[in-house]
Every structure is written in structure tokens, then in C-alpha cells.
Amino acid sequence: AIFYFLSVSIALAACFVIWGGLLDARKSDSLKGLRGARERCLFECLLLLVALVSMAGVPPFMGFAANLNMVTALFDQHESILLMLYVITLVLQLVVVAKMLGLVFFAEPDDHDGMLGTVIGVGTKMRIALFTLIAPLFLLGFFWEGVWSTLVEKANSFINF
């Protein structure tokens, strides 16, 4: 559960920072301001893609390992009702992620503010910060077993100390 919480926290933090930057640049207060954002700031949209896909639990990202751990733990504990609710939540999460990605990548951009041709995104320092926030979602997706076993060992040695 801690690994899942960590995974979702990192992904949501990245999503909120990217959404906020893109919506602020468009002077929009609704998600419709993200329509066709790929035309204006592809780098931020790709980072958003990584965060959303990780949150949805698609391999090889950290969210997949976290969701796999949760499903395995619920299955091992014979919690069938909680397991069904969790799987339903995952399906709903996939639907929301698909809608968000469709809005950003496949919706026709609107040019109601005349800013379609300009590249509007977050600054270079923010891009570096976003990249360092997104990197664990990808890296821990590949190496989660080693990281998890090390964390469990350290926690057990701390408790037994």
C-alpha cells in the first residue's frame, strides 16, 4: 500500500504541475484549455503522458508495479470484494486517463485566443524539475523489485534495532 501511495503521489504531483502550467499559460480555468496542447508544448505533453500512463498502471512504469503489488496482496488475503472494487477503480482510472490523453493529444486545438502558433509551456527550470519528478516513475517501474526488497530489509532492521 505504501508503494502504491508513493507511485500515485508522484504521478499526481507531476500531473497537477503540468496541468497547472499549461492552463495558466492559456489563461484557462477548465480542462478544455488543454485541447490540442501537443501543438504548443510537446515536451510537457509527453511528461504528462508518462505521468498519466504510470498512474493508470501500464508497464513498464512504477504504477504497474504498485498496482500489481496491490492486486497480489488483496488476492493473497482472500479479499474478493476489495479486489473487485479495486479492479473496477482501475478500469475507471483507465477511462479517465484515456479521456485526458485524447483531449491533449487527439483533440483539435482551438485558437480562440490566437495563441495556437506560439510555444507556451513552462520554463526550462520547471522542465528540469518535472523531468526529475517523472524519472522515478520510469526507473522504479523497471527496478521495483530490487528497490522494494531493499526498503523492506531496511525497515525490518530499523524495527528490530
CA dist list (Å): 155 to 77, 115, 152, 158:
22, 52, 5, 5
Residue type, 156: N
pTM of the entire predicted model: 0.67
Residue 157 three-state SS: helix
Measured torsion, CA atoms of residues 106, 110, 114, 119, in degrees rounded to the nearest 10: -20
Residue of 144 and 71 predicted with greater confidence: 71
Radius of gyration of the chain (CA): 18
What's the CA gap between 60 and 141, in Å, rounded?
Answer: 5
Residue 4's pLDDT is 78
pLDDT at position 124: 66
Residues 6+ apart with CB under 8 A from 90: 56, 57, 67
Q: What is the pLDDT of residues 87-114, one digit of tens each?
A: 898 888 888 888 888 888 887 776 555 4
> Between residues 91 and 119, which one has the greater pLDDT?
91
Residue 105: per-residue pLDDT:
80
| Helix, strand, coil % over all residues of the chain, rounded to 5 | 75, 0, 25
Query: What pLDDT does 108 receive?
Result: 77
pLDDT at 136 over 80: no
- Of residues 147 and 16, more confidence is placed in 16
Q: pLDDT value at position 110?
A: 66
Give the tens place of pLDDT for each residue, 56-81.
Answer: 888 877 788 788 888 888 888 888 89
- pLDDT at residue 148 greater than cutoff 70: no
